[in-house]
Amino acid sequence: MHRDLPLWLLLSCLLAAFAAGCGEVWNDPYPGERADAPVLYSAFVNRPKHLDPVQSYSENEATFTYQIYEPPLQFHYLKRPYELEPGAAAEMPTLRLLDASGQTLPPDAPPDSIAASEYTIRIREGMRYQPHPAFVDDLEMPDDPRTIADFARSGSREVTAEDFVYQIKRLAHPRLHSPILELIAGYLPGLRDLHRRLREVQVPAGGWLDLREHPLDGVDVVDRYTYRIRLTGTYPQFIYWLAMPFFAPVPWEAERFYAREGMAERNFTLDWWPVGSGPYMLVDNDPNSRMTLAANPNYRQDTYPCEGEVGDREAGLLDDCGRRLPLIERVVFARERESIPYWNKFLQGYYDASGISSDNFDQAVQTVGDGDVRITDEMQAKGIELVTSVAPTVMYMGFNMLDPVVGGDSESARRLRLAISIAIDQEEFISIFRNGRGVAAMHPLPPGLFGYRSGEAGINPYVYDWTNGRPVRKPVAEARRLLAEAGYPEGRDAATGAPLVIYLDTTGTGLGGKAEVDWLTKQFRKIDVQLVVRATDYNRFQDKIRSGNAQIFYWGWNADYPDPENFFFLLHGAQGKVASQGENAANYRNAEYDQLFERMKAMPDGPERQRIIDRMIAILQHDAPWNWGFYEVVYSLQHAWIQNRKPGKIARNTLKYQNIDGALRARRRAEWNRPVTWPLALGAALMVALVVPAWRQYRRRERATALATEAG
C-alpha cells in the first residue's frame, strides 16, 4: 500500500492548496471585492451601441446614459402618475407663448394662435462635471492607454448654460446622426439650417468641429446660468424631451479631447467614454465583460425625496428622506449572454435583482386564486421580493390599411378586422406565451397615462362585453357573424366561394415563434379563416412594412414619455409608414382622428383633453386598425438587501436613489454559497480507485511471462 502514498499525498496537497486559495466562499465572481460594500451588482445582455447622449436611444443604453448625464428635468422618483421636476435646472422652465407679431399670449391661448413657444431654463449654479482628463489643457498621451483612468491627470469645471446649448447644437452634427434631429427640427427650424451649414464645413484631419463657432437660430444663452429655446408653434410634449440626455450638458472640451490623434484608434470617443455631470461616471468600460459606474465626486447637492404616493412610507420608500444622493458608491454591470447563469447567480446572491425569463417563471412565481400571482415559497425563504408594474408599452397586431382585403375604410373590411380581433383570444395568448405577464389592450393607450380609463368605461365594446364586473371577450359566434357580414360566410368569399386566406408576415421562426404561429393559426381556424405565415428575416420584414406589402404583422411601441400623444401618434395619418416613413406602421388614416390628434397634442391635461381622447379611442375601436394586443407587465425580483427600488420604466435615472444593506448581503452570500467539498474527495478517491487497479494490472502484465499469460 505504501506505493500509493505519494499519489494520495499529491492529491491531498492539491486539495489543500485549492481550499487554501479560496476564502469562505469559493464561487464568488467578484474576487477581491467586499460583499458588504455599498456596490450594486447588475447584469446586461447586449452591449450598448451608443453612450453619446445625442445618439443613444435604446433601453439598454439608457441604463448608463441616464446615470451619467443630467438633463434639465427629471421625473419624480416616487410620485405616480409621473411628475416632472427640476434636475439640472434650478426650477421648472418658464414658458412664454407668442403670437405672430411677437406679443405674449395667455397660457390658455388656442393652439392656432400660437406662433412660437419660448422656454427659458435656468440651471443650478455650482454644478460641476465629473473628473476627466478632457479638462486638462496640457495633457500628454500615456503609452497605450486602455481606460480613462490611465491618463495621469484629470480636471473639472462648472456646468454653464452654454454647455446645454452646445449639446442642442450637437443634435445637428452631421456625423452624429441624432435620431431626434428631424423631430426637433420640425419645431426648431434653426437646427435644420445648422445641420445644412455644418455639412459644408471641412474639418481638418485631427481637428474637430467646434460648435461654439456656429450659431443656432432659436437657441440663446441669456447669461452664464440661463438659456432660452424658441420653438415654432406649440409643442407641449417638448418638456418631456428636456428630461432626456438628448438635452443634457456636454462640455466642448470633451469633443476637443477625443478628437486628438490616436484617440479614436484606441476607442476613446465620447460615444464610448461619456463625460457628464450626473450622479455617476463610467470608470470601467469593457462591454464584452463588465462596465462599472462610480459615484461622481463632483455631483451636485441632491437629496432623496421626502414625499411619494400613498403606500410609499409603509413600503419603506421614504426611509432615506433627505439623504445625499447617490446612495450607492459603485454599480457593477457584468455581461451575461445566457439566462441560465444569470438566474443562478441571482439565486446565489451575486446579482441584486433580476427579471424572470420564461424558463424560470415557475420556479419564481405561482398563480393563486383568480389570476393573482405571488412569489414561490422557495424564493420567499430566501427573502426575495417580487415587484410588478405595467410598462408603458403596447404590443399589437397591425392590419395594413393599404391592403385590399383587410385594409381600407369599407364596412366589409372593418367587420373582417373586428371578426379577427374577437377570434384571437388575447387573454389565452398572455396566459400561454407570457406567463400571464400582460394586460389585454383595449386601445393603444397603456394604463398609468393620462386618458386611460379603467373599468367598464374603458373596455373596447366591439370586442368585449362587461359581465360580472369584468371584461369578457365576445363569443366566436359574434366573430363568425361579423365575418359573414363582411362577405365571408364560413370563411369563404360569398361571391366566388374561394376560401379566405390571410397572410401574416413575421420574423418569429424560432422555437417559441413556431408555437406562437401554430396557436395563431388555430385562432383563425375558429372562424374558418386560413392563416398563411410568411416567415422572413428581419430586413425583408422591415422592407415589407416600409413598402406596405404586409397584410397583418406584429409590432410594438415603448413610450418615450408619459403622454398620450406618444401613443396616439402611432395612428396619425401624417405618420404613415408608406407615405412618409413615419411610425404609423398600419398606414391608418382617419380625417376626424387626425384632426382630434392635432388638438389633443397641444392641450394640457384636463377634462377637455380627456373628452377628445375618449372620442379618439372610440374612433379607433370602431375602425380597428390594430388588433389591440396587450400591455406588457414587468415582473422583477429583488433580494431583501436592496432598498428604495420602485418599479416603473419612465424614470430611468433611478440608480442614485437605490440603496444596499451590504452587511445583510455579505451574510446571505456566505450562508448560501458554502462550498460542498466532499465531491472533491470522492473524485480523488475515485481516481485512485481507478488508477491503482489499472496500475497493478499493468505491472502484472509487464511482469507476466509468456507461459503465465497463456495459462491466464
Positions touching another protein (CB under 8 A) are 22, 25-32, 47, 49-50, 57-58, 174-175, 177, 179-183, 264-267, 269, 271-272, 286, 288-289, 334-338, 340-341, 344-345, 347-348, 350, 537, 539, 542, 581, 583, 673-677, 679-680, 694, 697-698, 701-702
- Rounded least distance, CB 293 to another protein, Å: 18
CA distance 108 to 105: 8
Contacts of 80 (CB under 8 A, 6+ apart): 309, 448, 648
Nearer to another protein, 361 or 672 (CB): 672
| Grid cell in block for residue 551 | 397584410
Nearer to another protein, 46 or 104 (CB): 46
Total residues found in the chain within this entry: 712
- Rounded least distance, CB 274 to another protein, Å: 14
- Rounded least distance, CB 116 to another protein, Å: 24
Instruction: Find the helix packing angle between 426-433 and 511-525, rounded to 10°.
Output: 160
Phi, psi for residue 329 in degrees, rounded to 5:
-75, -40
- Rounded least distance, CB 441 to another protein, Å: 20
Nearer to another protein, 464 or 569 (CB): 569
- Rounded least distance, CB 613 to another protein, Å: 23
- Rounded least distance, CB 309 to another protein, Å: 30
Nearer to another protein, 314 or 338 (CB): 338
Nearer to another protein, 32 or 311 (CB): 32
Q: Which residues of 590-612 are buried (b: 16+ CB within 10 A; e: fewer)?
A: beebbebbeebbbbeeeeebbeb
State yes or no: cis peptide before 93, omega within 30 of 0: no
Instruction: Tell me the CA distances in angstroms from 187 to 100, 248, 367, 448, 479, one per residue in order.
Output: 15, 19, 49, 28, 45
Residue 257, SS3? helix
CA atoms within 13 A on the CB side of 260: 16
- Rounded least distance, CB 2 to another protein, Å: 22
- Rounded least distance, CB 289 to another protein, Å: 4
CA distance 569 to 587: 12
- Rounded least distance, CB 143 to another protein, Å: 15
Phi, psi for residue 501 in degrees, rounded to 5:
-115, 125
Nearer to another protein, 98 or 688 (CB): 688
Nearer to another protein, 27 or 120 (CB): 27
CA atoms within 13 A on the CB side of 62: 14
Q: Which residues of 282-318 are buried (b: 16+ CB within 10 A; e: fewer)?
A: bbbbebeeebbbbbbebbbebebbeebeeebeeeebb
- Rounded least distance, CB 678 to another protein, Å: 9
Nearer to another protein, 195 or 437 (CB): 195
Strand partners, 551: none
The sign of the dihedral angle between the CA atoms of 676, 680, 683, 684 is: negative
Nearer to another protein, 2 or 175 (CB): 175
Element (H, E) at 481: helix 476-485
CA nearest neighbour of 536 among 505, 502, 515: 505
Nearer to another protein, 177 or 611 (CB): 177
Block residue for cell numbers 443613444: 56
- Rounded least distance, CB 182 to another protein, Å: 5
Nearer to another protein, 224 or 266 (CB): 266
For residues 208 and 259, is the Cβ–Cβ distance under 8 A?
yes
